[in-house]
C-alpha cells in the first residue's frame, strides 16, 4: 500500500478560532492570533488542524449555524487573513481540515429568508416543508430536553419546516441536485484556498431522506461517493472525515466497500466503550468495540478521540453501563446533558489524576486509527459548568498567567476564561508547562513524537494478546514485518502479566521499551513477565535477538 495517504498516520488537533487566540484585543479569537500560535502547534508535533466553523454566523450554535458559506466571520478576520493562515500551515507542513456544515443553514441565511418569503423562489425547494404539521414532529430531536420538535411553523411561509437540530437550523433538502451542486461548490471554494479536506458535520442526517411522510429515513450512501469523487478530482490528497455516530454494522456503508465514500470517520463506538472501560477498569467493552469496528477498507481510517467539542455521547451503551460511566465521571445531573452524555472536559472527569490522563491518552494514541486531540486537553484544561450546555468545555485556551490567560487583552472574552479552582489559568497554562520538563504538555509532545514513529498503528493489523486479566489490555500491531506491542493497566492496582508471543521466531525476542529503558527479555520459550504499575502503560517494539546484538555492536 502506498504511503502517501497522509491521514492514515496523522495527528489531528481541533480548535475553534473564536476561543484560541485574540490578536486585536476585542475579546474574540481571530485568524491573526491563531496564525501566531502555529509554531506552538507545530512544536507539539500535530500534523493537521481541524477548525470548527468560522464562517459568518449569528453564533447561536457556536457557529454551526452558517449564513454565508463563502466567507469568514468578520469577528475572526478576513478571507485574506484566512489565506495567510492557510499558507502558514502549509509552510510548516501542517494540513488543514475545516468543518463542513451542510445538513442545515442558519435561519438567517439569505437562502432561507428567500425560501420563506416567496413560494416561487428557487430556494424554496432547498429546504424541507410541510403544509400540515407532520405526525412525527415531536420525535427525532438531536437535543432532547432543549429542542422541542423537528418541525416548526413559519408564519411567513405559512408552512412547517424541518430541522433535525435547533429550530434556528432549518435542514437543507440535500436530495435536491441543486443543493448537492452547491455543496460541491462550497468544497471547491475552500479547496482552492488551501484546505486538505473537511470534517463533515452530521453525516447520517445529511444523507438521510427528509420529508413529512418519512418515518424511518433511509440513508442515501451513494451521495457520499459523489462528494468524495469531486473532492479528489479537484485535489488528490483531500479527504472527508465524517461525523457519523452510527452502529458498527453500517460502518462499511459509510466507508464504501472499496473506500470510495468517506476516507475517515470518528470512531464513536470505541469512544463510548473506552470510557466504559476506564470507568470499570475492565478492557472487555473496549476490545469488543475494537473488534466490531475492525473491518474497514485499506485506504480508510478511523479518527480516535477522547473528548470533542460536544458532550461525551453515551447513547450506544445500555442503560446500566451508561449509569456506570455517569457515576464514575459525571455523577451530578449538572454534568450530564441531553439524557445521554457528559459535558465535562477530560481532566476533571479523571479528577486531574496525571496517571489516568496519561493512560487515557496513551490508549487513544495506540488505538487503530489517527488520534484527534482537542485543544486545551494537551495541558489538562478544565470546564466551567456554569456555562450552558456544551459551552462549559469550550472556554478560551489558557496560554499564561496574564489576565484572561493571555487569550485576550480585552476585559470581556467571548466566553469567560477559567480563573478559579485547580483548573484556573493561574495553575493550568501553556507558559508554565512549557518550562516544566515533567508537565503534561511536554509528556504529550514526547508521546506524539513517538506515535509518529510507529506507523504500524496507522497501517497495520491489530490483534489482542492474552494477559490473563481483563484489567490489563495488550494489543499488538504487525506491518511490513515489524511489530509493536502496547500494554495498558486500567486498574488502580499494580498488575503482573505474562505475555506469550507465539509467532515463529519470537520465542526468544526482546520487547524494547519505546518510552523508557525498561526493556523486557524472556527466557527461551517462556512468556514475558511484566509488572505494570497502577494505570501504567508500556509501548514496546517486538525485536528478534539480532536486534540486541546490533545494539551491543554500536
Ligand atoms: C454536530 C456538531 C455540533 C452541532 C451540530 C449541529 O453534531 O458537532 O456541535 O451542534 O452538529 O450542527
Ligand atoms: Ca479578535
What is the DSSP code (8-state) at residue 147? B
* SS3 of residue 537 by DSSP: strand
Burial of 257 (0-12, 13-18, 19+ CB in 10 A): exposed
Q: How far apart are CA 67 and CA 291, in angstroms?
A: 41
Q: Is 100 in the pocket of ligand 1 (CB under 6 A)?
A: no
Domains of the chain: 6-103+177-452 (3.20.20.80), 110-162 (3.90.400.10), 460-553 (2.60.40.1180)
Catalytic residues: 201, 243
Expressed in angstroms and rounded, the spacing between residue 310 Cα and the centre of ligand 1 is: 7
Would you say residue 551 has pLDDT above 60? no
Query: For residue 14, what is its C-alpha cell?
Result: 481541533
Beta bridge partners of 62: none
Expressed in angstroms and rounded, the spacing between residue 394 Cα and the centre of ligand 1 is: 13
Decide: 100 and 198 in contact? Cβ < 8 Å: yes
Decide: 409 and 31 in contact? Cβ < 8 Å: no
Decide: 190 and 197 in contact? Cβ < 8 Å: no
Q: Which residues of 203-216 are buried (b: 16+ CB within 10 A; e: fewer)?
A: bbbbbbebebeeee
Q: Is 202 in the pocket of ligand 1 (CB under 6 A)?
A: yes
Expressed in angstroms and rounded, the spacing between residue 51 Cα and the centre of ligand 2 is: 16
Residue % of the chain over a pLDDT of 70: 97
Expressed in angstroms and rounded, the spacing between residue 481 Cα and the centre of ligand 1 is: 42
42-85: per-residue pLDDT in tens?
999 999 999 999 999 999 999 999 999 999 999 999 999 999 99
Q: Is 171 in the pocket of ligand 1 (CB under 6 A)?
A: no
Q: How far apart are CA 310 and CA 233, in angstroms?
A: 32
- Give the pLDDT of residue 522: 83
Task: Compute φ and ψ for 371, nearest 5 degrees.
Answer: -70, 145
- Give the pLDDT of residue 550: 55
Task: Report which of 286, 367, 368 is spatially closest to residue 325, judged by C-alpha positions.
Answer: 286
Give the predicted TM-score (pTM) of the model: 0.97
Would you say residue 194 has pLDDT above 60? yes
Three-class HEC string of 459-512: HCEEEECCCCCCCEEEEEEEECCEEEEEEEECCCCCEEEEECCCCCCCCCCEEE
**Nearest-CA residue for atom 3 of ligand 1:** 310
- Give the pLDDT of residue 428: 98
Q: Is 172 in the pocket of ligand 1 (CB under 6 A)?
A: no
DSSP 313-380: E-TTS-HHHHHHHHHHH--SGGGEETTTEE---HHHHTTT-HHHHHHHHHHHHHSSSEEEEETTGGGT
- Give the pLDDT of residue 116: 98
Closest ligand by atom to 101 CA:
1
Q: Which whole-number Å values give the CA distances from 322 to 42, 326, 331, in the listed order? A: 37, 6, 11
DSSP 259-316: S-S-SEEE-HHHHHHHHHHHHHT--HHHHHHHHHT----TT-EEEEES--SS-EE-TT
What is the DSSP code (8-state) at residue 425? T
**Nearest-CA residue for atom 7 of ligand 1:** 202
**Nearest-CA residue for atom 2 of ligand 1:** 201
Query: For residue 491, what is its C-alpha cell?
Result: 486498574
Closest ligand by atom to 22 CA:
2
Would you say residue 87 has pLDDT above 60? yes
Q: How far apart are CA 128 and CA 125, in angstroms?
A: 7
Q: Is 61 in the pocket of ligand 1 (CB under 6 A)?
A: yes
Residues less than 5 Å from ion ligand 2, measured at CB: 22, 24, 26, 28, 30
Q: How far apart are CA 344 and CA 199, in angstroms?
A: 22
Would you say residue 549 has pLDDT above 70? no
- Sign of the four-CA dihedral 277, 354, 401, 433: negative
What is the DSSP code (8-state) at residue 127? B
Task: Compute φ and ψ for 100, nearest 5 degrees.
Answer: -125, 105
256-311: per-residue pLDDT in tens?
999 999 999 999 999 999 999 999 999 999 999 999 999 999 999 999 999 999 99
**Nearest-CA residue for atom 9 of ligand 1:** 310
Closest ligand by atom to 414 CA:
2
Terminal CA-CA length for the chain: 33
- Give the pLDDT of residue 509: 83
- CB atoms < 10 A from the CB of 11, how many? 20
Q: How far apart are CA 210 and CA 19, in angstroms?
A: 34
CB-based contacts of 74: which residues, under 8 Å, 6+ apart? 56
- Give the pLDDT of residue 552: 52
Residue % of the chain over a pLDDT of 90: 93
Kindly report the length of the chain: 554
Q: How far apart are CA 135 and CA 123, in angstroms?
A: 25
357-372: per-residue pLDDT in tens?
999 999 999 999 999 9
Q: How far apart are CA 3 and CA 448, in angstroms?
A: 19
Question: Angle CA(120)–CA(124)–CA(128) in degrees, nearest 5?
Answer: 145
Instruction: Identify the residue whose cell numbers are 432549518.
Output: 170
CB-based contacts of 481: which residues, under 8 Å, 6+ apart? none
Mean pLDDT of 140-150: 93
- Give the pLDDT of residue 521: 87
Q: Is 310 in the pocket of ligand 1 (CB under 6 A)?
A: yes
Closest ligand by atom to 36 CA:
2
Would you say residue 15 has pLDDT above 60? yes
- Give the pLDDT of residue 554: 42
Q: Is 201 in the pocket of ligand 1 (CB under 6 A)?
A: yes
402-441: per-residue pLDDT in tens?
999 999 999 999 999 999 999 999 999 999 999 999 999 9
Expressed in angstroms and rounded, the spacing between residue 389 Cα and the centre of ligand 1 is: 12
- Give the pLDDT of residue 273: 98
* SS3 of residue 183 by DSSP: helix
Amino acid at each position: 500500500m502506498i504511503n502517501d495517504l497522509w491521514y492514515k498516520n496523522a495527528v489531528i488537533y481541533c480548535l475553534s478560532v473564536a476561543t484560541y487566540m485574540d490578536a486585536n484585543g476585542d475579546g474574540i479569537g481571530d485568524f491573526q492570533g491563531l496564525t501566531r500560535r502555529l509554531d506552538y502547534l507545530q512544536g507539539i508535533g500535530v500534523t493537521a488542524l481541524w477548525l470548527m466553523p468560522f464562517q459568518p454566523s449569528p453564533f447561536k450554535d457556536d457557529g454551526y449555524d452558517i449564513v454565508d458559506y463563502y466567507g469568514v466571520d468578520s469577528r475572526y478576520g478576513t478571507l485574506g487573513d484566512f489565506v495567510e493562515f492557510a499558507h502558514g500551515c502549509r509552510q510548516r507542513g501542517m494540513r488543514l481540515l475545516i468543518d463542513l456544515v451542510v445538513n442545515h443553514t442558519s435561519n438567517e441565511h439569505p437562502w432561507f429568508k428567500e425560501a420563506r418569503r416567496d413560494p416561487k423562489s428557487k430556494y424554496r425547494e432547498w429546504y424541507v416543508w410541510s403544509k400540515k404539521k407532520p405526525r412525527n414532529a415531536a420525535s427525532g430531536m438531536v437535543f432532547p430536553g432543549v429542542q422541542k420538535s423537528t418541525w416548526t411553523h413559519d408564519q411567513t411561509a405559512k408552512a412547517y419546516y424541518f430541522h433535525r437540530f435547533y429550530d434556528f437550523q432549518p435542514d437543507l433538502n440535500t436530495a435536491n441536485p441543486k443543493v448537492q451542486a452547491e455543496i460541491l461548490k462550497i468544497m471547491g471554494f475552500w479547496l482552492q484556498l488551501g484546505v486538505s479536506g473537511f470534517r463533515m458535520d452530521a453525516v447520517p442526517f445529511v444523507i438521510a431522506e427528509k420529508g413529512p411522510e418519512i418515518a424511518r429515513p433511509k440513508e442515501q450512501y451513494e451521495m457520499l461517493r459523489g462528494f468524495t469523487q469531486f473532492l479528489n478530482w479537484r485535489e488528490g490528497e483531500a479527504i472527508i472525515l465524517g461525523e457519523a455516530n452510527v452502529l458498527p454494522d453500517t460502518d462499511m456503508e459509510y466507508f464504501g466497500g472499496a473506500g470510495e465514500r468517506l476516507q475517515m470517520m470518528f470512531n464513536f463506538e470505541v469512544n463510548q466503550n473506552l470510557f466504559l472501560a476506564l470507568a470499570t477498569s475492565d478492557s472487555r467493552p473496549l476490545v469488543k468495540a475494537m473488534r466490531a469496528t475492525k473491518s474497514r477498507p485499506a485506504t480508510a481510517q478511523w479518527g480516535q478521540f477522547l473528548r470533542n467539542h460536544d458532550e461525551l455521547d453515551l447513547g450506544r451503551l445500555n442503560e446500566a453501563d451508561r449509569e456506570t460511566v455517569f457515576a464514575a465521571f459525571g455523577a451530578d445531573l449538572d454534568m450530564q446533558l441531553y439524557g445521554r452524555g457528559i459535558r465535562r472536559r477530560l481532566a476533571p472527569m479523571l479528577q486531574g489524576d496525571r496517571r489516568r490522563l496519561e493512560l487515557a491518552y496513551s490508549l487513544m494514541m495506540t488505538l487503530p486509527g489517527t488520534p484527534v486531540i482537542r485543544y486545551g486537553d494537551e495541558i489538562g484544561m478544565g470546564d466551567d459548568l456554569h456555562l450552558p450546555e456544551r459551552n462549559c468545555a469550550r472556554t478560551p485556551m489558557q496560554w499564561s498567567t496574564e489576565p484572561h490567560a493571555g487569550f485576550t487583552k480585552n476585559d470581556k472574552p467571548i466566553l469567560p476564561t477559567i480563573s478559579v479552582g485547580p483548573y484556573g489559568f493561574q495553575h493550568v497554562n501553556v507558559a508554565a508547562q512549557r518550562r516544566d520538563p515533567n508537565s503534561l504538555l511536554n509528556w504529550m509532545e514526547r508521546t506524539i513524537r513517538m506515535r509518529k514513529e510507529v506507523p504500524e498503528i496507522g497501517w497495520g493489523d491489530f490483534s489482542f494478546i492474552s494477559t490473563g486479566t481483563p484489567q490489563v489490555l495488550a494489543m499488538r500491531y504487525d506491518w511490513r514485518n515489524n511489530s509493536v506491542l502496547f500494554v495498558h493497566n486500567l486498574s488502580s492496582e499494580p498488575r503482573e502479566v505474562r505475555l506469550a508471543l507465539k509467532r515463529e521466531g519470537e520465542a526468544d525476542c526482546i520487547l524494547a521499551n519505546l518510552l523508557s529503558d525498561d526493556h523486557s527479555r524472556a527466557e527461551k520459550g517462556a512468556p514475558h513477565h511484566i509488572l505494570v504499575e497502577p494505570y501504567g502503560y508500556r509501548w514496546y517494539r517486538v525485536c528478534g535477538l539480532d536486534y540486541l546484538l546490533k545494539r551491543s555492536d554500536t
